[in-house]
Structure formats: structure tokens, C-alpha cells
Amino acid sequence: MKKNMIIITAVFVTGTLIFIILYRVLGFGILLTMSITFGTISYHFVMRLVVGFLYNIFMNNHADYQNSWFNVSTNEQKLYEKLRVKKWKYKMPAFEPDIFDPRKHSWVEIIQATCQAELVHETIVVLSFLPIIAGLWFGVYPVFIITSVGAAIVDTVFIIIQRYNRPRILNLIKR
């Protein structure tokens, strides 16, 4: 997944630059639309990579899993049961699946990684809405709103998975 994310990011950043250059040279409105679209998608991918990179530098998967921020309430667990997280969580990709592998890491290391992953995705959710500000310059708010909301929803799914798994990992640690 990591390699694919980097490749996708490079493709969209390159596409953005190409469409900007073509728009400047040819001046066709569709090229501006493509520049904005590719640029917005580029932002979402670059931002994800940068946020994850920064959390890795500062935390290196050593989050304090006992911090109250990471506590999962009974009502929250009931919500996850209603959402049937157990049935679909394995269908979602992991950026670095090895950090969640119990054959390679202790359960304490894994729970710390889940906490860091949660923080990464929570930060991304917030930063997903920054492109809406670009509507001030380009006036095409629907593009920015749709991509921002869509991106936030995707990252919320990953937060749910981390929080769903946490009590189960805590039980394994206590044993």
C-alpha cells in the first residue's frame, strides 16, 4: 500500500503540474478545471503522506495507549457492532500492515501503533477541509467540498477500525 500511495501521489502531482502548464500556455478553461481537480487530489495524497511521516518522526509508534483520548466507551463499541466493523475491517488496506502483525511485534507495540494511526487519521480528517478555502480563489466550492467530505469519510473509517480493535488488543495485553 505504501508504494502505491507514493506512486499515486507522484502521478497526481505530475498531472497537476502538466495541466497548470498547459492552461498557462493554451488558456482553455477545461485545463484549469483539470488543474484544480488534480491539484486538490494531490493535496489530499501529499498531506496524508506528510502527516504520517511527521507522526512517525515524533512518535515512532510509541503512543501512550493508556491516555484517556484512546479510551473506547461501551456506547462506542455498541455503535461499532451496529456498523458491523468486524465483517468489513479486513477489506480496508493498511499503509504499513507489518506494524500490526503479532508475529513481528508485541501486542503493546501493536496497540501503540493503533493509537498513532488513529491520531494520524484524526489529523487528516481535520486537514481534509483546508482545500475548501481554495474556493475563495477559484470559486468552485463543490469540487473542494465534495473531495474534502469524501476524504474525511474515508479517514473516519480508519479511525473506527483502530478504535474497534483497541479493546480487543487491550484484552490480549491483560492476559
User: What is the model's pLDDT at position 108?
Assistant: 93
pLDDT score of 31 more than 90: yes
**What tens digit of pLDDT does each residue of 90-149 get?**
888 888 888 888 999 999 999 999 999 999 999 999 999 999 988 888 777 888 888 899
Letter for the amino acid at 144?
F
pLDDT score of 174 more than 90: no
- Angstrom distances, CA of residue 158 to CA of 23, 92, 121, 124, 166: 37, 8, 7, 11, 12
pLDDT score of 3 more than 80: yes
Helices 141-174, 74-82: axis angle to 10 degrees equals 120
Task: Report the C-alpha gap between 86 and 8 in whole angstroms.
Answer: 29
73 backbone dihedrals φ, ψ, rounded to 5°: -75, 165
User: What is the model's pLDDT at position 141?
Assistant: 82
Q: Answer yes or no: pTM beyond 0.75.
A: yes
Average pLDDT value over all residues in the chain: 91
DSSP string, 47-113: HHHHHHHHHHHHHTT---TTSGGG---HHHHHHHHHTTHHHHGGGS--SSGGGG-TTTS-HHHHHHH
Mean pLDDT across the stretch 2-13? 92
Mean pLDDT across the stretch 27-49? 91
Q: How many domains does the chain have?
A: 1
Domain that holds residue 40: 2-174
User: What is the model's pLDDT at position 113?
Assistant: 93
Mean pLDDT across the stretch 146-154? 93
User: What is the model's pLDDT at position 50?
Assistant: 96
